[in-house]
Structure 1
Amino acid sequence: MQKAFGRDEFDSAYDEIQAAARTASCAPQQIYSFSMECGHPNPWYHAVAVSVEGMQDQEYDQFFGAR
C-alpha cells in the first residue's frame, strides 16, 4: 500500500478499496471496516484486513477476483 499510495496515505488507499467495492456490488448500503496488522518489524508481512458487509458471495468473488 505504501508503494502505491505513499507513506501514511491510508485514507487514499481505503477510498480506493471502497470505490472498488461499490463497483463490484449493487447493494444500496455497505459497511466497511479496515484493520492494519503491522505490529511486527518485517514490512513484507504487513496487511490490511478489509470487511465489507452488504455484499453477496458472487460480488465478493468479483471484488477479490485479483487474489
Structure 2
Amino acid sequence: MAVFRLPIRLIRERFGGDNFDDAGDWVDDWLRDRGERRYRIEYSFDAEHVNPWFHAMVMQIDGLSDAVGEALRRGLVEEGLSD
C-alpha cells in the first residue's frame, strides 16, 4: 500500500478553499491518463499536530507499483500538491 501525504495548505493554494475532492480527482485523473487501472484509494485527514502547517490529507492506494508510486510522488510535487 502506497501512502501519500498532501499538505492541506498546498491543496488550498492549488484548488482554493477546502476543495479536497479536487485533489483526489487530480490523482485519479493522473493515474487514468497513464493507462493505470482504477485503484482503491482511501482518504483520511491528519490534523493532530497543533500547528496547522503540518495538517495533511492522507491517501492510501492499494496495489500501486513502486515505479508508478514514485512517478506519482514526482507528479504531486510538480503540481504543487506535495513538498
Q: TM-score, normalised by structure 2?
A: 0.62
Equivalence for 1:50? 59
Identity %: 26
How far apart, in 2, do the equivalents of 1:21 and 1:48 lie?
A: 18
Q: RMSD of aligned C-alpha atoms?
A: 2.1
Task: Work out which of the two has the higher radius of gyration on C-alpha atoms and give 1 or 2.
Answer: 1
Equivalence for 1:10? 20
How many residues align? The count is 66
How far apart, in 2, do the equivalents of 1:22 and 1:16 lie?
A: 10
| Structure with the larger RCO, 1 or 2 (CA within 8 Å, 6+ apart) | 2
How far apart, in 2, do the equivalents of 1:22 and 1:37 lie?
A: 26
Residues 41/7 of structure 1: CA separation in 2 closer, same or farther (3 Å cut): farther
5+ residue gaps, structure 2, are 1-10, 78-82
Deviations 1:8-38 (A, max 9, x none): 21111211122223345633x3100111112
Residue 26 (structure 1) aligned with residue 36 (structure 2): yes
Contact 1:24 1:60 in 2 (8 A): no
